[in-house]
Structure 1
Amino acid sequence: MAYDADFGEWVREHFQALGRLEIKRMFGGAGVYASGVIFALLDDGVVWLKGDEALGEAFEAAGSRPFTFPTKDGRTMSMSYWTLPETALDDPDEAVDWARRSLAVAVRKASGKTPKSATSSARRSERRA
């Protein structure tokens, strides 16, 4: 992954209707956060938006491709991130629509997670009972 700060500024401008975004470097690329939730990745000039099964189908229909990477053993792994559709690259309104849908998926997934400390506490309580 590679992150270019100028590209990050373009993303902020393109998605400005979402409000304040945080862009944090990670693994050579960057994560894009809104309200503390990561909903996009930036890598080599590509915006990758978080998706689920339904949104993934919409991304695929719009010509997006999934985020994939090779593993050490030669397999190809995929993550639930998709490229911003090409038509949205020149249309901030369309880009924000995709980003809002992606953010909704990210918020839904984040809200379903149990914090590790709560999980550990629950397990300890179960063992004591």
Structure 2
Amino acid sequence: MAVSPEFRAFVVESLGRVAPTVTSRGMFGGVGIYSAGIFFAVIDDETLFLKVDDTNRGDYEAIGTGPFRPFGEDKQGMQYYELPADYLEDADRLRPWVEKSIDVARRARKGKKK
């Protein structure tokens, strides 16, 4: 569950190249990632997970990654899927994944306010 300060800084810097006002906050042993106040990603155990719903889950499944399972592999996954670390090194490759996840988080946030 640990996240090193170096990996956290790397993720925030990388995401900051493709999204506005990226910030992070420690939570439950991991790190929550926000863009302009919208919670769209989680770092846990040196792995980045981005927010998903039915509009983008298939993108992650197509590249062979799965859901964030903080309570064990035999438990239900959360609505965050792993993004391979090498995507963080290429802003052009990273941008569409981040933009879609921010859109998902924005829609989920609107749904909760109703």
Other-structure match for 1:14: 14
Displaced runs of 4+ in structure 1, greater than 2 A? none
Deviation at 1:87, TM superposition (A): 5.2
**Residues 52 and 29 from structure 1, CA distance in 2 versus in 1: closer, same or farther, beyond 3 angstroms?**
same
SS in 2 for 1:17: coil
TM-score by length of 1: 0.78
Structure 2: unaligned runs, 5 residues or longer? none
Distance in 1, matches of 2:37 and 2:85, equals 27
Other-structure match for 1:54: 55
- The RMSD of aligned alpha carbons is 2.0
Distance in 1, matches of 2:82 and 2:47, equals 7
Percent identity reads: 34
Deviates more, 1:12-21 or 1:96-105: 12-21
Deviates more, 1:23-32 or 1:91-100: 91-100
| Relative contact order higher in (CA < 8 Å, ≥ 6 apart) | 2
Aligned residues: 113
Report if aligned partners of 1:63, 1:85 keep a CA contact under 8 Å in 2.
no
SS in 2 for 1:113: helix
Distance in 2, matches of 1:9 and 1:75, equals 31
Other-structure match for 1:90: 89
